[in-house]
């Protein structure tokens, strides 16, 4: 396996509430995202069907041409039904405030968040800027205008696939 070597330097600021918490880090050598930690003094309980804004205690200064995507942690989703209200969240290069995570409880039991819990992951990625080119038509593709599950949910043969409405 090759080593990931496309690093970007990102200044980070710890808020006064951050104190002893470690900086976000990759948990494995090939991980795409760094875990973000809950920077709260008292536990927060998120009831089923509810959400809460959880501060992370950090602010970053991304270079122009980059964004940070805030994504759910798959383990929290699989075990407890915890996700993000705005998945993925986007941190723009010009934002300098504290990063906060909007956790939502899709599960059936209350979920408690404690200080230092790994609540989300952050992926830093390059951003492409769009320059629109107005056209009367677009090139044809095999897919065409098919969307919203038009290829079905079963085998390639399509057995048992309900027709798409709309």
The answer to whether 59 and 125 are in contact (CB under 8 A) is no
pLDDT of the residue at 158: 55
pLDDT of the residue at 77: 96
Taking only the tens place, the pLDDT of each residue in 10-35 is 999 999 999 899 999 999 989 999 99
Q: Residue 2 pLDDT more than 60?
A: no
* Entry pTM: 0.82
Q: Three-class SS of residue 79?
A: helix
pLDDT of the residue at 6: 82
Taking only the tens place, the pLDDT of each residue in 29-71 is 899 999 999 999 999 999 999 999 999 999 999 999 999 999 9
Question: Within a 10 A sphere around the Cβ of 69, how many other Cβ atoms?
Answer: 17
The CATH architecture assigned to 28-126 reads: Distorted Sandwich (2.70)
Tell me the domain boundaries of the chain: 28-126
């Amino acid at each position: 396996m090759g080593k990931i070597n496309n690093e970007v330097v990102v200044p980070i600021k710890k808020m006064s509430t951050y104190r002893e918490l470690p900086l976000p880090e990759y948990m494995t050598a090939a991980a795409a995202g760094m875990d973000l930690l809950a920077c709260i003094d008292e536990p927060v309980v998120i009831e089923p069907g509810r959400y809460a804004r959880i501060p992370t205690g950090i602010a970053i200064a991304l270079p122009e041409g980059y964004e940070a995507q805030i994504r759910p942690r798959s383990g929290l989703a699989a075990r407890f039904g915890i996700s993000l209200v705005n998945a993925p969240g986007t941190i723009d290069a010009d934002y300098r405030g504290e990063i906060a995570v909007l956790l939502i409880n899709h599960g059936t039991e209350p979920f408690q968040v404690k200080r230092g819990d790994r609540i989300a992951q952050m992926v830093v990625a390059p951003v492409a800027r769009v320059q629109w080119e107005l056209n009367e038509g677009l090139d044809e593709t095999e897919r065409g205008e098919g969307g919203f599950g038009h290829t079905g949910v079963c085998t390639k043969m399509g057995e048992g696939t309900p027709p798409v409405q709309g």
